[in-house]
Amino acid sequence: MTPSRAQAIGIVEQFPEEHLSILIQNLQYLRSMYVSHEEQELTKSMQAFQNLQKYRKESIKQHNYTDELSDILEERYESLS
């Protein structure tokens, strides 16, 4: 256990029982702020990705990679036969 965690647990243990509900509510609020901050970062990443996708162009020509590969292999190994 880290010293910070031990200190936090010590403070919680010293809290009076009647005030624990307020402490729990505050901790849940802090946790939700932390999670929403992470979600914002993810959202920023997704926005950056979408921004990059705007510059992406679709190919006009439809590629048949199987035929292209067979043609290339045929040309390359034509001299062996």
pLDDT by residue for the chain (81 residues), tens only, comes to 899 999 989 988 998 888 888 988 998 888 887 766 666 677 788 888 888 888 887 777 787 889 999 999 998 888 776
Q: Domain boundaries in the chain?
A: 1-43
| Predicted structure pTM score | 0.41
Structure tokens at 62: 């439809």
Q: Which residue pairs, CB below 8 angstroms and at least 24 apart, start in 22-27?
A: none
Helix (H) or strand (E) run with residue 31 in it: helix 20-53
In angstroms, the CA 8 to CA 10 distance is 5
Structure tokens at 60: 């006009």
Distance of CA 62 to the CA centre of its chain: 32
Q: Which residue pairs, CB below 8 angstroms and at least 24 apart, start in 30-33?
A: none
